Amino acid sequence: MPRGELTDSQSGRVHVIGGGLAGCEAALQLADRGFRVRLSEMRPVRTTPAHRSERLGELVCSNTFKSERPDTSSGALKAELDRLGCRLLSLARQARVPGGHALAIDREVFSALVTQTIESHPAIEVHREEVTELEVGEMTILATGPLTSPALTESLEKWLENDGLFFYDAIAPSVMVDSVDQDIVFRASRYGKGEADYLNCPLNKDEYERFVDALLSAEQVEVKDFDKAAYFQGCMPIEIIASRGRESLRFGPMRPVGLEDPRTGRRPWAVVQLRQETRDGTLYGMVGFQTQLKYGAQAEVFRLIPGLAGAEFPRLGSLHRNLFVDAPRNLRADLSLKSNSQLWLAGQITGCEGYMESVASGLVAALSVVHRWQGRQFLPPPRETMLGALLSYLRDQTNSRPQPMNVNFGLLPPLDEPPRNKLQRKQAYVERAGRRMAEWVETIQ
Ligand SMILES: Cc1cc2nc3c(=O)[nH]c(=O)nc-3n(C[C@H](O)[C@H](O)[C@H](O)COP(=O)(O)OP(=O)(O)OC[C@H]3O[C@@H](n4cnc5c(N)ncnc54)[C@H](O)[C@@H]3O)c2cc1C
């Protein structure tokens, strides 16, 4: 039988591997639709470096699912998930603690609710077992997250093309292009080679010195031992590079060679390059600027860079141990693997970033399984929705080295007539997303 064309002999049964955020959402969605679900979770038999309990749906770090304000990208995502009947979002609201506009939750109450909801569901069997081999022949959703166990990682690798797994994320901040001062930055590639693909922020000597001072004195997050190994993968944070000598950034990611500032006719002292990240050119990434500074400190320090004084950063930098597939080369639009149509991925392993994004991808993977079972083609949500924009970004072929992504307005296709006012622009994005989501929901009934 050709690889990837396997039939499911057990009707309506799905194996969900991983009882985290994505796996629990997928399991509940499927079980509610009459599927019989086997959910394999390795804790407590084996644990990960970040989890602390044996509960399902454990949050490994912060206790917030981010904003619920409708004019934010995370709020818009939640509105879409509500429309789709997201189970974990509604459990999160039951575990809510005061957090202003943010959906902050009591982690323990939340994971206890998830565990109880899953374990009491008549269509879900929970098996506390480490899955070490991906079986073929049954519909499977793999949702084992950024800390997938090594044995299963090895098994997954066999299904992927060209070293299709990444083990660390080295996220450099992304900037909304319409917040960059176009009077200061200039478009060019080094030595004029190829198209003028980069936006270059030029720094003179004083500006460079001030930037290095701010960088070295900025607050850093505490780095876990299992994250430090990322440095050896060529993912050195800029503050570590800077600490090795004041000139080191100028000979590293901020080197100005091959570039001339048209305003001065000279090579700048140092340069920060921005490279296009989305098909529509709405979002640009800061090249080589992976960092472990605290989020607040990042925005403050990076706004010292000429051209970025008013920059909006929908994604800030981070460096983590992570496991995610090279989605553009391995994942289909319905979240199944190109090499095995019976195997779907969900959660952080797809290359999305964040709690709610992981939940969302679990929901989509479940809907995709349902469609396949019914013999219907699954068309993912449109790109104008937050969910569709995220899924489309994951598979964007222009990303030669994709890095995990959270939802943000920069992923959405531009508006036909964008209002000048920032708030109105966001509202216009959200309204369009709502309309498109409503249309899509009709098609998947
Ligand atoms: C240290 C760390 C901190 C993070 N902090 C945040 C944060 O503050 N906010 C945020 O939005 N995102 C954060 N993330 C990113 C991400 O949102 C979370 O990791 C999120 O939990 C991912 O959801 P998931 O369902 O993909 O994986 P998980 O929630 O990790 O679930 C995967 C599950 O699979 C199980 N599993 C693994 N291997 C096997 C196996 N072989 N067999 C059976 N079960 C297995 C694991 O035990 C786990 O329960 C963080 C990630 C890490 C690693």
Other C-beta atoms lying within 10 Å of the C-beta of residue 33: 15
For the chain, which domains are there?
Answer: 13-167+321-443 (3.50.50.60), 174-316 (2.40.30.260)
Query: What are 150-201's pLDDT values in tens digits?
Result: 999 999 999 998 788 888 777 899 999 999 999 999 999 888 877 778 999 9
Tell me the CA distances in angstroms from 238 to 53, 218, 293, one per residue in order.
Answer: 34, 12, 9
Token pair of 220 as six digits:
């850093």
Query: What are 16-46's pLDDT values in tens digits?
Result: 999 999 999 999 999 999 999 999 999 999 9
Q: What is the CA radius of gyration of the chain?
A: 22
Q: What amino acid occupies position 14?
A: V
- Local confidence band at 409 (pLDDT 50, 70, 90 cut-offs): very high
| Mean pLDDT, residues 414-420 taken together | 92
- The answer to whether the CB of 112 is under 6 A from ligand 1 is no
- The answer to whether the CB of 41 is under 6 A from ligand 1 is yes
To test the pocket of ligand 1, the residue of 56, 61, 344 to mutate (highest count of ligand atoms within 8 Å of its CB) is 61
Give the Å distance between the CA of 139 and the centre of ligand 1: 22
Query: In this structure, which residue's CA is closest to atom 31 in ligand 1?
Result: 20
Q: How many angstroms separate the CA atoms of 173 and 175, rounded?
A: 7
Give the Å distance between the CA of 290 and the centre of ligand 1: 21
| Mean pLDDT, residues 59-85 taken together | 95
- The answer to whether the CB of 404 is under 6 A from ligand 1 is no
Instruction: Tell which atom from ligand 1 comes closest to the C-alpha of 359.
Output: 25
pLDDT at 11 over 70: no
Other C-beta atoms lying within 10 Å of the C-beta of residue 219: 12
What integer pLDDT is reported at residue 4 of this predicted model?
34
pLDDT at 428 over 90: yes
Q: In what order do the strands lie in the sheet with 340-345?
A: 124-128, 36-41, 13-17, 139-142, 340-345, 336-337
Instruction: Tell which atom from ligand 1 comes closest to the C-alpha of 59.
Output: 21
Average pLDDT, the chain: 91
What integer pLDDT is reported at residue 3 of this predicted model?
32
- The answer to whether the CB of 118 is under 6 A from ligand 1 is no
Burial class (CB in 10 A: 0-12, 13-18, 19+), 443: exposed
Tell me the CA distances in angstroms from 35 to 91, 168, 323, 359, one per residue in order.
Answer: 21, 35, 28, 19
Query: What are 200-221's pLDDT values in tens digits?
Result: 999 999 999 999 999 999 998 7
Instruction: Tell which atom from ligand 1 comes closest to the C-alpha of 347.
Output: 26
**Comparing 160 with 396, which gets the higher pLDDT?**
160
To test the pocket of ligand 1, the residue of 46, 166, 227, 348 to mutate (highest count of ligand atoms within 8 Å of its CB) is 348
By three-state DSSP, how is residue 386 classified? Answer: helix
User: What are the helix (H) ranges across 282-374?
Assistant: 295-302, 327-330, 355-373
Least confident window among 78-82, 171-175, 377-381, 390-394: 171-175
- The answer to whether the CB of 152 is under 6 A from ligand 1 is yes
| Mean pLDDT, residues 251-267 taken together | 95
- Quote the strand ranges of 91-216, DSSP E: 102-104, 124-128, 139-142, 165-171, 174-176, 186-188, 198-203
Tell me the CA distances in angstroms from 397 to 84, 267, 338, 378, 392, one per residue in order.
Answer: 28, 33, 14, 20, 10
Query: In this structure, which residue's CA is closest to atom 11 in ligand 1?
Result: 354
Query: What are 108-123's pLDDT values in tens digits?
Result: 999 999 999 999 999 9
Centroid of chain to Cα 383: 16
